[in-house]
Amino acid sequence: MDGNDLCHMFFMLEEIILKQNQGMTQTVEIQNLKCGGCENTIRKNLNKFEFVRNLEVDVQKGTVSLDALPPDYLVFVKRVLSNMGYPVVEDGNSVGKKVKSYVSCALGRMNT
């Protein structure tokens, strides 16, 4: 078994896990989600990843929901959100994160 076989097996296993989790939803509560501009930025950035399915952003509740993901993928999604200025509520909300969220919000408003 060579590296290509292992890589192929990994992707097959990944697809099986994603299919098993299909229809199950995970929701994360995030900070700094203020308006439709924020929502647009989050949608644009998370929808770049093919494993993100059925993405919902609820501005009033401050949540992002998507089809259930393997734990490593969810950690990745949370990191992407944090890097845009929208950390999960369990994480710290520094001034830097707040500033990033305002920039992300402004970009989201311009791209509508």
Q: List, in sequence order, every residue forming a beta bridge with 56; answer none if it has no partner.
A: 65
Q: Does residue 27 sit within a domain?
A: yes
Choose among 99, 89, 85, 71: nearest CA to 42: 85
Q: Does residue 18 sit within a domain?
A: no
Neighbours of 79 (CB within 10 A): 13
Are 76 and 58 in contact by the 8 Å Cβ rule? The answer is no
Encode pLDDT of 55-100 as tens digits: 999 999 999 999 977 878 889 999 999 999 999 999 989 998 988 8
Q: Does residue 61 sit within a domain?
A: yes
Residue 10 has pLDDT above 70, yes or no: no
Choose among 40, 1, 32: nearest CA to 100: 32
Give how many domains the chain has, as a whole number: 1
Range of the domain at 64: 23-110
Choose among 108, 101, 110: nearest CA to 36: 108
Q: Does residue 13 sit within a domain?
A: no
Question: pLDDT band at residue 7, thresholds of 50, 70 and 90?
Answer: low
What is residue 111's predicted lDDT score, i.e. its pLDDT?
72
**pTM tops 0.85, yes or no:** no
Q: Does residue 86 sit within a domain?
A: yes
CATH number at residue 70: 3.30.70.100
Neighbours of 16 (CB within 10 A): 10
Q: Does residue 17 sit within a domain?
A: no
